[in-house]
A and B are shown apart, each in its own frame.
Chain A
């Protein structure tokens, strides 16, 4: 490793030895479309009809350490939202294990299970669809903590006021309904709701994608302030590399259900290893780039119903060779905390 690399890592306090806050081992999630009666009948009669299975997430290992902000990046259909839901505990995995602070979530019961779930909260992309339009803001924010006994008797109003203030909302608006707020304010309501149950870990699924640039900056700043104040850990899912670059400590890149590369943020943006990551970075329009030819990755994103064999990226990869078509590349260490799944790393 060169001297500059050492400097970059000298500032990191995260190591691979401490127990991660959340850890995924070989997690997969499949969605299948059940056969209807006609198709079942056709199959009985000998037709070649099979259930359609989508491997939304395919054997993913992921660790998020306490206090870390991990950016999860990928294009449509790469499984990043599905993975986010599994991490947040609102979608069960088909295979593999999820560990919360070193304990297998599947082995937790009763109070321990409830706490493990409550400590992981999610903030959604669409601030219009993720709030119940018939509930007042005070109830949206206060319902969950009340149900879970986090609010002292008679302390409801006070508790809700505090949550709203923390998310940058005026508590005077708590008797209003979601439709009376702008997009940015609604996202703040979503944040207040997630934080009201005192979580330690937040999954943000494209939480700023629907907002205007100037509002996006306000919400991102709010995320970072809350991280400091409440000692939060984030899994930040986004397709926007600029946003991820700005606030993540580490970046994980997915393509068609698999992790293709993970590395500290500076490393991804300065020395990306995987050809997909590099072409993704080349495609991002940057405000500093004027009147230039846009770099292009050839081809479309393949359907996850029928992904290419071997390395999923090989049909679009400029560097693909024979082995890429048959063998799935494994994630291998290519630098400190830097792993990449590409056969080129073996070729020497």
Chain B
């Protein structure tokens, strides 16, 4: 088997603030293969976006990658110089942000921005670059791409802007796309359209994708594998169907349980008590301990990510193992 597109091993990204060290990403590992989608799921402050930024080499001071490796096609990104990283970024690895205006410049026409992106990495003529831009817009389902190339970002609706941002990410046919909540701000019908396009693209071009989101339902339909993050750590990792059907970690269990459609109408929703702890002041041992219904005295010992069942990982001393094994 060839090397996976991306292999993240024991990644730690910490922020050295005046108030103390924030361990935003703490010992995160996962693998993404060609044409596969990994759903990186977590609530606000769980470190999912910082994980994405670490892969892209976009972590700014006071944060930095403290340890671990990010192997992209066997090459460690964490050890590359800024210059080498710039050759990869936007070329072999691309990012899509939640707000498409993070990608788009409001005062430049779409064609200017797209041609610039093409020529940043390849010496091609303007005409050739324009042709590529047009093809990319067509690929994400923008009607009459020739005319739309001449528009400014404000002339597009929110959904169309996100399509343009995705088209820009696709210009160099990257091997990996990191997508950070790209459909969260969109309406459901538009979200459905974009998810359908993305699914088609990954299957057709073999692009690997990391889809960062807080929405388990989106991941259920889109991803192959899922990694659930809590307080900077991956607490569960495995095949998306298996994890969502029979979660091992009590946090995953609680998260799935609190999705309204998983509950009986009119009855109280199953909820996780308490709230996410501050990353500056994490409890000793398992960070979920204080909210966990299965917590016992040994949870003050820090749990490691362990393979409880074949290809099913959880960071827990007392996972829902019997249920998962029975399924």
Interface residues of A, Cβ cutoff 8 Å to B: 75-76, 182-184, 212-218, 220-221, 224-225, 239-243, 245-247, 265-266, 279-280, 282-297, 300-301
28 contacts between A and B (CB under 8 A): A75-B188, A75-B189, A76-B158, A76-B187, A214-B272, A214-B275, A216-B258, A217-B260, A217-B272, A220-B260, A221-B271, A239-B187, A240-B260, A243-B260, A246-B260, A285-B191, A285-B218, A287-B220, A289-B220, A290-B220, A290-B241, A291-B221, A294-B199, A294-B222, A295-B192, A295-B196, A300-B157, A301-B187
CB-nearest residue of chain A to B37: A291
Q: Can you name the residue of chain B whose Cβ is closest to the Cβ of A184?
A: B275
B144-158: which have CB < 8 Å to A? 157-158
Q: Which residue of A215, A247, A289, A300 contacts B190 across the interface (Cβ within 8 Å)?
A: A300
Contacts A245-B265, A246-B263, A279-B189: A300 and B272 contacting too (C-beta < 8 A)? no
Measured between beta carbons, the chain A residues less than 8 angstroms from B258 are: 213-214, 216-217
User: Given A212-B214, A294-B221, A286 and B192 touching (CB < 8 A)?
Assistant: no
Cβ contact within 8 Å between A285 and B221 = yes
Closest to A276 in B: B189
Tell me the complex Cα distance, A296–B187, Å: 12
B44 CB, min distance to chain A CBs, angstroms = 6
Q: Is there contact, CB below 8 Å, between A301 and B189?
A: yes
Residues of chain A within 8 A (CB-CB) of B101 are none
Asked if B268 is an interface residue, CB under 8 A from chain A, the answer is yes
Question: Which one of A182, A290, A294, A295 has the greatest number of beta carbons of chain B within 10 Å?
Answer: A294
By the criterion CB–CB under 8 Å, are B260 and A300 in contact?
A: no
A314 to B255, CA, bound (A): 39
Q: Which one of A239, A287, A291 lies within 8 Å of B188 (CB-CB)? A: A239
* Complex contact A296–B189 (CB within 8 A): yes
Please provide the 8 A-B residue pairs with the shortest distance between their CB atoms, ordered closest to farther.
Answer: A217-B258, A283-B192, A246-B260, A285-B217, A212-B43, A75-B187, A217-B271, A217-B269
Given contacts A286-B217, A289-B220, A293-B199, A213 and B187 within 8 Å (CB-CB): no
Q: Check: B173 CB closer than 8 A to any chain A CB.
A: no
B192 touches A297 (CB 8 A): yes
> How far apart are the CA atoms of A221 and B256 in the complex, in Å?
16
Q: Does B57 count as interface, using CB distance less than 8 angstroms? A: no
Assembled-state Cα–Cα distance A268/B275 (Å): 34
Q: Which residue of A lies closest to B46 (CB)?
A: A212
* B189 x A290 contact (CB < 8 A): no
Whether a CB of chain A sits under 8 angstroms from the CB of B216 is yes
| B268–A224 touching, CB < 8 Å | yes
CB-contacts of B265-320 with A (<8 A): 265-266, 268-272, 275-276
B260's contact among A75, A245, A266, A295, by CB below 8 Å, is which?
A: A245
Which chain B residues border A245 with CB–CB below 8 Å?
260-261, 265
* A300 proximity list for chain B (CB < 8 A): 157, 159-160, 190
Query: Cβ of A183: which chain B residues have Cβ within 8 Å of it?
Result: 44
Check B272–A242 contact: CB distance below 8 A: no
List of A residues within 8 angstroms of B160 by Cβ: 300
Contacts of A242 in B (CB 8 A): 217, 259-261
CB nearest neighbor in A for B270:
A217
Closest to A185 in B: B275
Q: Is A218 within 8 A of B271, CB to CB?
A: yes
When distances are taken between beta carbons in the complex, the residues of chain A under 8 Å from B256 are 287
Render B230-270 as a binary contact track against A, CB cut-off 8 A, 1 for contact: 00000000001100100000000011101111110110111
Q: Are A214 and B255 in contact (CB under 8 A)?
A: yes
Say whether chain B's binding surface is mostly helix, strand, loop, or mixed.
helix
Q: Report the bound CA distance from A241 to B260 in whole Å.
A: 9
Residues in A whose Cβ lies below 8 Å from that of B224: 291
Flag if A213 contacts B214 (CB, 8 Å).
Answer: yes
- Whether the pair B188, A280 counts as a contact (CB closer than 8 A) is yes
Closest-by-CB residue of A relative to B42 is A212
CA distance A290 to B245 in the complex (A): 10
Inter-chain pairs besides A212-B44, A214-B272, A285-B195, 11 sampled, C-beta below 8 Å: A213-B43, A217-B271, A221-B271, A241-B188, A284-B188, A284-B192, A294-B196, A297-B189, A297-B193, A301-B157, A301-B190
CB contacts (< 8 Å) of B221 on chain A: these are 285-286, 289-292, 294
Asked if B215 is at the interface of the complex by the 8 Å CB criterion, the answer is yes
Q: B residues within 8 A CB of A287?
A: 216-217, 220, 244, 256, 259, 261-262
Complex CA gap A212/B275 in Å reads 10
Give chain B nearest CB distance to A70 CB in angstroms: 15
CA distance A62 to B255 in the complex (A): 35
CA distance A218 to B266 in the complex (A): 14
Question: Contact at A220–B269, with CB atoms within 8 Å?
Answer: yes
Q: Is the CB–CB distance between A296 and B193 below 8 Å?
A: yes
Q: B240 to chain A: closest CB distance in Å?
A: 7
Known: A182-B275, A213-B216, A287-B262. A293 touches B241 (CB 8 A): no
Cβ contact of A286, chosen from B157, B195, B220, B276, cutoff 8 A: B220
Residues in chain A near residue B196, CB distance under 8 A: 293-296
Q: Which residues in B have their C-beta under 8 angstroms from that of A224? A: 268
Docked CA distance A169–B191 (Å):
36
Which of A224, A245, A286, A295 gathers most chain B CB within 10 Å?
A286
Within 8 A of A (CB), among B205-228: 214-218, 220-222, 224
How far is the CB of A123 from the nearest CB of chain B, in Å? 18
Task: Looking at the assembled complex, report how far the CB atom of A283 sits from the nearest CB atom of chain B, in whole angstroms.
Answer: 4
Which of A76, A212, A242, A286 has most chain B Cβ within 10 Å? A212
Docked complex Cα distance between A288 and B193 (Å): 19
B269 in contact with A221 (CB, 8 Å): yes
